[in-house]
Amino acid sequence: MKKKGDMATMLNSSGYIFRETINSMKRNPWLSLASVVTVMVSLVILGYSIFFLANAANMAKSFESELEIGAFVQIEYTPEEVQDLKSQIEQMPGVESVTLVTKEQALEDFGKTLGGSQGNIVSDVGGTNPFPDKLTVKATDPQNVKALASSLESNPGLYKVRYGQDFVDQLLKFTQWLRWIGFGVVAAFGVAAVVLISINVKMNVFSRRREIQIMKLVGASNSFIRWPFLIEGLALGLVGGTFAAVIVGLGYNWITVYVQSTLTFLPVVQNEVLFRQVSMGLLLGGMVMGALGSLFSLQKFLRA
Amino acid sequence: MIQLTNVSKIYPNGARALVDVNLKIGKGNFVFLVGPSGAGKSTLIKLLYREETPTRGQVQINSKNLVRMKDREVPYLRRNIGVIFQDFKLLPNKTVFENVGFALEVIGVAKREVRNRTLATLELVGLKAKETAYPHELSGGEQQRVCVARAVINNPALLVADEPTGNLDPDTAWDIMELLYDINKRGTTIVMATHARAIVNKMQKRVIAIENGRVARDEEKGGYGYDA
């Protein structure tokens, strides 16, 4: 008895529902604006967090696949022993080349980075050269870097092996941390947005209570009475989501261009698919917040 | 058509509005509910369009059980019940036409049909000339006619009225009663709570007197029965 003709009913009612939605948004313009802005802020933060995390993951991956491994030779090794070690490593499978940076060279480079220091650097740093000899090992295949690094670690002639992994570990720790903070901030703003939308809808329910009373009296279905309010919430959320998508999209584009022209070594994610997914996600997120806000305020009334 | 079985209604504040009421009202009947203020007439009316549900007992309309009815089924019950109030309950910012058509619009009737049926109903209640007027531009009697039009536009089997003439002068009240009489003649069952002695005495319809929540008297072709 109730499913019959629901489509026709919806069609006949769409004009009414649309009019009511516009009217309610006009009724409380400031509250509507506040709702839209909070939705927007929460989603902008969400959007940038996603892009940041995507970039961090991408960075981690590209550093992981760096071909170079830094292997530090035991400090007491003589130059001859270092040469032996170098040729020994050159023979290892998967190694493309080995370059030696001697401790003297390292000290000199260090001195250069200090710039100002004139006299004897060795005496400046305490009489002995603190730097070890370093072998820069280049792998033939990025896939091999990790295996190669671990086999180098077991070489008694080397006391430390460094490759992208170190940096990656730190980066991952940081992104983990950021993920929680981001989650917290997004959740806080999300809750605020839902509450504001819910207040917005509630006020409109209140200002239309006579009309609603009569609608119930003449047998308007609950869903018919709810639709304008639900759509109002959805519309507020969607507008917020749209602004957020535009801000995140334009902002990210700008940052990308800036980073690529100044920090050329940083790999920046420019993924059309991710871009579209994030935009759609933000729109959807806005609508979900709007729907939640409406549902919270409609839950209590319209029982019968 | 209407059957109340052992119906009691106790409000959350402890007020006993109805006590063990048993009633049968047949299809096409015209019934007056009389009795002192606060005797339970309004509660009885509210049970009929399921604004309230009884604390105990059963309410049936057209063999539908209103107590066991789910909330989401209530709108479909109400499409078959017209309700009229003492205070009209019209929407002030809508015209006569819009107020009456509203009852069809919000149950999803197509625009053209809303228009045709609204005009026909306004003709029935004698307000066709006032279709573009707003409620505040109408007299009390005219406002009540709008309310009646809104209540009957969906051709309900049952029309319930809670003191529909309470705010009207005697002449206007008679106009409304004639209108209800016509509607009843077309087959609509009418249950009307009232304090209008003259009307009850003259119409010679079934009278049910409620006192302290109980049925004190139930007569075919009865009179008002209370001294002035």
For chain B, give the percent of residues with pLDDT over 90: 84
Give the confidence band of A1 by pLDDT, cuts at 50, 70, 90: very low
pLDDT of A116 strictly over 60:
no
Is A3 a member of any domain? no
Residue range of the domain that includes A108? 67-162
pLDDT of A118 strictly over 60:
no
pLDDT of B110 strictly over 80:
yes
- Which residues in chain B touch residue A216, judged by CB atoms under 8 angstroms apart? 75, 78
Q: Give the residue among A186, A226, A175 at the shortest CA–CA distance from A205.
A: A226
In this structure, the answer to whether residues A112 and A215 fall within a common structural domain is no
Quick count: other Cβ atoms within 10 Å of Cβ A203?
Answer: 15
Of A12, A210, A225, the CB nearest to B111: A12
Which tokens in the block code for residue A109? 């480079």
Q: Which of A142, A162, A182 is the last residue of a domain?
A: A162
Of A210, A214, A224, the CB nearest to B108: A224
If one compares A268 and B102, the residue with the highest pLDDT of the two is B102
pLDDT of A3 strictly over 50:
no
Give yes or no for A224 touching B (CB within 8 A): yes
If one compares B14 and A107, the residue with the highest pLDDT of the two is B14
In this structure, the answer to whether residues A225 and A239 fall within a common structural domain is yes
Give the torsion through C-alpha atoms of B129, B133, B138, B143, to 10 deg: 80
Q: Which of A147, A162, A177 is the last residue of a domain?
A: A162
pLDDT of A201 strictly over 60:
yes
For chain A, give the percent of residues with pLDDT over 70: 86
In this structure, what CATH number is given to the domain that contains residue A135? 3.30.70.3040
pLDDT of A44 strictly over 80:
yes
In this structure, the answer to whether residues A227 and A257 fall within a common structural domain is yes
Give the confidence band of A105 by pLDDT, cuts at 50, 70, 90: confident
- Output the CA angle A124-A125-A130, nearest 5 degrees: 145
Helix ranges (H only) for chain A are: 6-27, 29-64, 79-90, 103-114, 121-124, 145-153, 164-207, 209-217, 222-262, 272-300
Give yes or no for A9 touching B (CB within 8 A): yes
Is A175 a member of any domain? yes
Is A6 a member of any domain? no
- DSSP, res B168: S
Is A107 a member of any domain? yes
Is A4 a member of any domain? no
Give yes or no for B75 touching A (CB within 8 A): yes
Of B75, B91, B111, the CB nearest to A219: B75
In this structure, the answer to whether residues A58 and A81 fall within a common structural domain is no
If one compares A101 and B132, the residue with the highest pLDDT of the two is B132
Is A5 a member of any domain? no
Tell me the pLDDT tens digit for each residue of A207-221: 888 888 999 999 998
Determine which of B77, B94, B107 to mutate to test the interface with A (most A C-beta atoms within 10 Å): B107
Integer Cα distance of A228 and A216 in angstroms: 15
Is A199 a member of any domain? yes
In this structure, the answer to whether residues A52 and A176 fall within a common structural domain is yes
Count of domains for chain A: 2
In A, minimum Cα distance to B150 occurs at: A218
Q: What is the DSSP string of B192-205?
A: EE---HHHHHHH--
Is A211 a member of any domain? yes
